[in-house]
Structure 1
Amino acid sequence: MPVFTSTNRPLDIDLLVLPETNLILIASVIEPLRGANRICGADIYRWRLFTPDGSPVETTSHIPVPASGSFRPAGDSAPLFVLASYNWRRSATQTLKMQLSQTARHRSMMAGIESGSWLLAEASLLDNVSAAVHWEDFEDFALAYPQVRAVKDRFVIDGKRITTAGSLPTVDLMLEIIRRRQGYSLALEVSRLFIYEPAAVYGAVELSPSTAGLRMRDPRVAQAVRLMEENIEQPLVLTRLARRVGVSARHLQALFQESIGAPPHVHYLALRLNAARRKVIETKESFAEIAAATGFNSASAFSRSYRGSFSESPSGTRQRLRRRSTAKAEPT
Structure 2
Amino acid sequence: MHVAKPLRYGFLLLPQSSMADFAIATEILTRANQLAEKKLYEFLPLSLDGQPVRLSNGLRQPVDLPLGYAPKLDGLFILSDDIGAEVSVEELSRGILSNHLDSQLIVGLGCGSYWMARAGLLGGQRTTIHWREMARLSEEFPDIIVSANLYENQGNRMSCAGGAATLDFMLALVSTQHSHEFAARLSELFSLERLRPSHERQRIPLATRIGGSQPKLTEAVSLMEANIEEPLSTDDIAYYVGVSRRQLERLFKQYLNTVPSKYYLELRLNQARQLLQQTSKSIVQIGLACGFSSGPHFSSTYRNYFGITPREERAQRSQPIN
2:135: which partner in 1?
139
Secondary structure in 2 aligned to 1:72? Answer: helix
Q: In 1, distance between residues paired with 2:189 and 2:97?
A: 36
Change (3 A) 1:124 1:37: same
Secondary structure in 2 aligned to 1:50? Answer: strand
Q: 2:29 aligns with which of 30, 33, 46?
A: 33
The residue type paired with residue 168 of structure 2 is D
2:67: which partner in 1?
71
Secondary structure in 2 aligned to 1:211? Answer: coil
1:107 CA drift (Å):
4.3
Alignment of 1:1-332 (within 5 A): 9-72=5-68, 76-103=72-99, 107-194=103-190, 209=191, 211=193, 213-214=195-196
Structure 1: state its 5+ residue gaps: 1-6, 195-208, 220-332
Q: In 1, distance between residues paired with 2:132 and 2:97?
A: 27
Identity of aligned residues (%): 22
Q: In 2, distance between residues paired with 1:24 and 1:56?
A: 17
Q: In 2, distance between residues paired with 1:86 and 1:99?
A: 20
Question: 1:153-194 CA deviation, whole Å, 9 max, x = no partner?
Answer: 111110210111122222111101111122112211221233
1:237: which partner in 2?
none
- The answer to whether the 8 A contact 1:14-1:79 is kept is yes
Change (3 A) 1:79 1:210: closer
1:106 CA drift (Å):
5.1
1:246: which partner in 2?
none
Secondary structure in 2 aligned to 1:48? Answer: strand
**TM-score between the two structures when normalised by the length of structure 1:** 0.54
- The answer to whether the 8 A contact 1:72-1:99 is kept is yes
1:310: which partner in 2?
none
1:96 CA drift (Å):
2.5
The residue type paired with residue 96 of structure 2 is L
- The answer to whether the 8 A contact 1:100-1:123 is kept is no
Q: In 2, distance between residues paired with 1:75 and 1:158?
A: 25
Change (3 A) 1:105 1:61: closer
The residue type paired with residue 81 of structure 1 is F
Question: 1:202-258 CA deviation, whole Å, 9 max, x = no partner?
Answer: xxxxxxx46154589999xxxxxxxxxxxxxxxxxxxxxxxxxxxxxxxxxxxxxxx
- The answer to whether the 8 A contact 2:89-2:115 is kept is no
Change (3 A) 1:101 1:126: farther
Change (3 A) 1:164 1:111: same
The residue type paired with residue 26 of structure 2 is I
Secondary structure in 2 aligned to 1:176? Answer: helix
Secondary structure in 1 aligned to 2:38? Answer: coil
1:40 CA drift (Å):
1.4
Q: In 2, distance between residues paired with 1:115 and 1:163?
A: 9
Change (3 A) 1:210 1:72: closer
Question: 1:274-330 CA deviation, whole Å, 9 max, x = no partner?
Answer: xxxxxxxxxxxxxxxxxxxxxxxxxxxxxxxxxxxxxxxxxxxxxxxxxxxxxxxxx
Q: In 1, distance between residues paired with 2:183 and 2:130?
A: 24
Structure 2: state its 5+ residue gaps: 209-322
- The answer to whether the 8 A contact 1:193-1:212 is kept is no
Secondary structure in 2 aligned to 1:91? Answer: coil
Question: 1:34-82 CA deviation, whole Å, 9 max, x = no partner?
Answer: 1111111111111011111111212122332221111107783420111
Change (3 A) 1:77 1:56: closer
